Structure 1
Amino acid sequence: MVKHLDPRVIKTRSSLKTALISLMQQYKIENISVQKITETAHITRGTFYLHYKDKRDFISRAMTEILDDFFDAVIDDGTDSLPEHYAFLNGHAVNVFYLNNAFNYIEKDAQMFNVLLNTQENGLFEHELYARMTGYLNRFYDQMKPAFADIGVPINIQIAFTVSAYVGLIKNWLIEGMIYTPHYMTGSVHKMISLVSAGSPKTVTFTNFFYSDPQLLARQTNNW
């Protein structure tokens, strides 16, 4: 049974997260006090402690909620995007990372993501994003292992390389002021993936985890 939060609770937590992001532009996380957070959010300390045990609990849950919302928007069933319908899946869905959804989502809250990923003093979010992406790629590999291309490189190295490339690309896009549209970024990644794909037409690599809808790309090519 889904538990729906009181709108007032949602508003309070949103205000606190917004205050945290604002403060992270100026201070290291360890130098951000509960008092600074509540004053910036225009919320009393009593209200803060109704929702969170302490600052550590708040920051941990705030980062988790931001990542949950992000991955809810970008991870979806991509079984039909795989090279073929594999019998070993037994009808189970395979989740993939929808590139266009990701770039669009980040663009809509660019300031927050830029602070979280490109503020040198605060590496917590990047670490958590890296860990979450690694988890999804490990699950993708576990599902697709029978069809995975053998390129002679340990899986943990392939995953580390892949995650670093995508997180680094997002960081660079933000640093450069998002001079390219989300659609252009999706198309560019699609082209690069096409060049580095390996194996036979029936095998899978980690490039298959990152999906760009070919119909969407075809419809919007003239808008780049």
Structure 2
Amino acid sequence: MIRVQPDQRRPTDDPRVLRSQGLLRAAILELGREGPIDGVAISDITGRAGVSRSTFYDHYTDKETLLADAIERQALDAGISVREAGLADGLPDQPPSFLIDYVQHIADHAELYRNVLGEYGSATVHARLARRMASILVEGYQLLGEHAPAESSLPIEVDAAALAGAVLAVLAHWLEHLPRTPPSVVASWIWEIVGRE
């Protein structure tokens, strides 16, 4: 039997769909906090969520897509927004509150992010996080306008992709090797990298 996947980007207001997706996202986030994601099976997720395997496949093609959606939704629910940074007058000396909040969000879910970004993590989630960060950086550059760091010969999207990779590398290193470092300090490291000209 060929299973046709629904368009996962199309929003729905069907309470049953929203409930199933919420249960699946909560289940994989819990499992991701408990150990490496590569050891998690679909049956582990559906068992934890209390739904059938067919329900899983009604909504997601694989566990990596589910995990990426769950982490992205978690960040959105945390209310992280570059538009609130007040960048119209240039980069402030200190990291903006949205960056500190984001790093605090990661600290609050450190085991999950350690498992996702670590050696046995998810390439899909890593790629989605990198894309999301790059789009935030592009938006930040656009908000800065003439106050943006020195112009580069690179297209803005390439520059943002490189910075997003650096930010993820900092976060992964912090979680793995320097977990006692306060989120505000990690945010300042990231801000220094973003602000380099």
The alignment's TM-score, normalised by the length of structure 2, stands at 0.68
Task: Find the residue that maps to 1:56 and give its secondary structure.
Answer: coil
What amino acid does structure 1 have at the position aligned with 2:113? Answer: F
Greater Rg over alpha carbons, structure: 1
Q: How much is the aligned-residue C-alpha RMSD, in angstroms?
A: 3.6
1:112 deviation in Å?
0.8
What amino acid does structure 2 have at the position aligned with 1:65? Answer: A
| Residue deviations 1:55-76 (CA, integer Å, cap 9, x gap) | 6255424412311321453224
Task: Find the residue that maps to 2:167 and give its secondary structure.
Answer: helix
Summarize the alignment of residues 19-168 of structure 1 with structure 2, pairs less than 5 Å apart: 20-21=31-32, 25=36, 27=38, 33-39=41-47, 41=48, 43-45=50-52, 48-50=53-55, 52-53=57-58, 56=61, 59-73=64-78, 74-78=80-84, 80-83=86-89, 98-120=98-120, 122-145=122-145, 148-154=148-154, 155-168=156-169
1:178 deviation in Å?
1.2
Cα separation, partners in 2 of 1:108 and 1:141, compared to 1, 3 Å: same
Runs of at least 5 residues in structure 1 that lack an aligned partner in the other structure: 85-95, 199-224
| Residue deviations 1:182-224 (CA, integer Å, cap 9, x gap) | 122234444x359x544xxxxxxxxxxxxxxxxxxxxxxxxxx
CA distance in 1, matches of 2:54, 2:44: 14
Cα separation, partners in 2 of 1:97 and 1:164, compared to 1, 3 Å: farther
State whether residues 116 and 125 of structure 1, in contact with CA within 8 Å, keep that contact through their aligned partners in structure 2. Answer: yes
Summarize the alignment of residues 179-218 of structure 1 with structure 2, pairs less than 5 Å apart: 179-190=180-191, 192=192, 196-198=195-197
Task: Find the residue that maps to 1:77 and give its secondary structure.
Answer: helix
What amino acid does structure 2 have at the position aligned with 1:56? Answer: T
CA distance in 2, matches of 1:51, 1:139: 34
Give the paired residue count.
Answer: 178
1:17 deviation in Å?
1.4
Task: Find the residue that maps to 2:179 and give its secondary structure.
Answer: coil
Match of 1:16 in 2: 27
Q: Sequence identity of aligned pairs in percent?
A: 14
Cα separation, partners in 2 of 1:77 and 1:4, compared to 1, 3 Å: farther
The alignment's TM-score, normalised by the length of structure 1, stands at 0.61
CA distance in 1, matches of 2:43, 2:85: 48
Match of 2:176 in 1: 175
State whether residues 118 and 172 of structure 2, in contact with CA within 8 Å, keep that contact through their aligned partners in structure 1. Answer: yes
CA distance in 2, matches of 1:26, 1:72: 22
Cα separation, partners in 2 of 1:197 and 1:63, compared to 1, 3 Å: closer
What amino acid does structure 1 have at the position aligned with 2:120? Answer: Q
State whether residues 115 and 121 of structure 2, in contact with CA within 8 Å, keep that contact through their aligned partners in structure 1. Answer: no
CA distance in 2, matches of 1:121, 1:11: 22
Decide which structure has greater strand share. Answer: 1
State whether residues 64 and 122 of structure 2, in contact with CA within 8 Å, keep that contact through their aligned partners in structure 1. Answer: no
State whether residues 118 and 176 of structure 2, in contact with CA within 8 Å, keep that contact through their aligned partners in structure 1. Answer: yes
